[in-house]
Amino acid sequence: MKPCMNQRRAEWAEKSLKLFCKETGVSMEHDGYETVISDFLANLMHLADREKVSFAECSIRADGHYVEEVTHCDCEECPQPEDQERPISEGSVKGGLNPRPTTPPPPPPKGQGA
């Protein structure tokens, strides 16, 4: 079975977070992944400021990579584009910058009092 590169990417990120925890004293066991990841991202924002890099641009680029990686992983666990039972649409990508809508947004309200 072909290993899942996205699982590998998650392991690389987790290794980095463990080093971050060791340096800062936060803990994934006690503080939870959401807190640790948020703290790490905030620190990346400070690093981006210091290095005069746009964190927002980095986030947008990272989101693009993420969506590409999630929709085109060729392992046997992730849904494949040709798999009709598990079609991949942008709406089925759960992570990334913003949850993607599975249905189009409702039309704007019509004029009031008409």
Write the CA distances from 77 to 11, 27, 69, 92, integer angstroms. 16, 30, 13, 15
Cβ–Cβ under 8 Å, residues 11 and 81: no
Smallest gap from Cβ 70 to Zn ion, in A, equals 8
Which residue ranges make up the site for Zn ion (CB under 5 A)? 4, 6, 73, 75, 78
Smallest gap from Cβ 18 to Zn ion, in A, equals 22
Write the CA distances from 33 to 1, 27, 41, 66, 108, integer angstroms. 29, 8, 12, 18, 38
Nearest to Zn ion of 57, 69 (CB atom):
69
Nearest to Zn ion of 48, 75 (CB atom):
75
Smallest gap from Cβ 14 to Zn ion, in A, equals 16
Smallest gap from Cβ 84 to Zn ion, in A, equals 18
Q: CB count, 10 Å around CB of 59?
A: 16
Nearest to Zn ion of 17, 75 (CB atom):
75
Nearest to Zn ion of 49, 74 (CB atom):
74
Amino acid letter for position 45: M
